[in-house]
Homo-oligomer: A and B are copies of this chain.
Amino acid sequence: MPVVSLMTDFGLKDGNVGVMKGVIWKFAPQAQISDLSHLIAPQNIAEAALILYRSAPYFPEFSIHVVIVDPGVGTARRPMAALIGNQYYVGPDNGAITLLLERAEQQGQETRFIHLNKPEYWLPDVSYVFHGRDIFAPVAGRLAAGTPLEALGTPFEDPVRLALPRPERTPSGWRGQVIHIDHFGNVASNIRSEHLGEMLRQKERITVRIAGTEIHGLVNTFGERAPGELVALMGSTGNLLACVVNGNAQARLGVQVGDVFEAVYA
C-alpha cells in the first residue's frame, strides 16, 4: 500500500490537515497516511527541512512526503513534485528538500524535479490560499495511485535551496549552531558525526560549550548519568545534542535556535 507523510505549519485545530487526507483518499483510497508534524513554526521552512531529512529514510521505498510550509502560497513560487533517492516530495519549491537533496547527491542517488503545471491533475477549483488541499493533496494522491511523476508537469533542474547555517572548523573542533529543540527540551546542533569523525573515537576528550557552560565528555546514552545531569551525546540521527537526563536542557540553559554550540577536542 502506498505511504504518504504530511508535514505542515497548519496546527491541529482547524480541520485543514484532515481535509487533505480526505482529498488524498479520493485519488488513492488505500494510501496509508502518517502525520510527521503539523506544529512546524509558521513559515519556518528550515525546521521542516530538518525534520524531513531525519524522517524520510525510515519510510518505505517510494513513500510520498507532502510538506506544506508555504509563505509564498498564491505567488509565482513553483509547485513541485520530486523524486530524491527512493522517496517522493510534494510541495512548494521553497527549499524544504535542501538537506534531503544534499545527502542524496553525496550518495550519488537519482534526483528528478517536476514543475507541477498541469491543472488537470488538481482539484477543479484552486483557491488562492490553500494549495495544500487544492494542488498538493491531489498530486500526492495521484502519485500514490500510480500516476508517473513525469506526467504531472515539466522537468526542471534548479530547485530552490536554503542557505542553512553550517558548522565551521576551529583550531580545536567545530563551532555550530542550535538548529532544533525538541519536545523534551533536548538541544540539537548542526554538528554531525561526519564532522567529528575521528574525534568520536575518544568521546571523553570532547567538550561541548553552550550558553557559557561546558559539558565534558560525550555519553552514549542517558542512563550513564543521574537524572538532572547535563550531558552531551550523539542523537539518533547523527547530530550532537545537549540534554538533561530526564529533564529539560532548553529550560536549564536558556538557549534558542540559532545560538552558538561548540565542540572542542582536548
Contacts and interface: CB of A to CB of B under 8 A. Distances in A.
Contacts of A43: 246
Interface in A213-239: 220-224, 227, 233-237
A178 B60 CA distance: 43
A263 interface: no
Contacts of A223: 72-76
Interface in A19-78: 19, 21-23, 25-26, 29-30, 32-40, 42-43, 51, 54-55, 58-60, 63, 71-76
A5 interface: yes
Interface stretch (A107-115, A129-137, A159-167, A168-176): A129-137
Contacts of A234: 128
* A contacts with B: majority SS: loop
Given A58-B133, A133-B236, A221-B75, A183 B3 contact: no
A5 B18 contact: yes
Contacts of A201: none
A184 B13 CA distance: 11
Contacts of A180: 14
A18 B36 contact: yes
Contacts of A30: 1
Nearest to A126: B236
A36 B15 contact: yes
Contact of A184 (B1, B21, B42, B246): B42
A246 B75 CA distance: 13
Can you list the 9 inter-chain pairs with the closest CB atoms, starting with the nearest? A74-B221, A11-B183, A75-B223, A130-B236, A22-B59, A127-B236, A18-B36, A13-B39, A128-B221
15 contacts: A3-B25, A3-B29, A12-B38, A12-B183, A13-B182, A15-B55, A18-B36, A25-B59, A26-B60, A29-B60, A42-B183, A71-B227, A74-B220, A76-B223, A134-B236
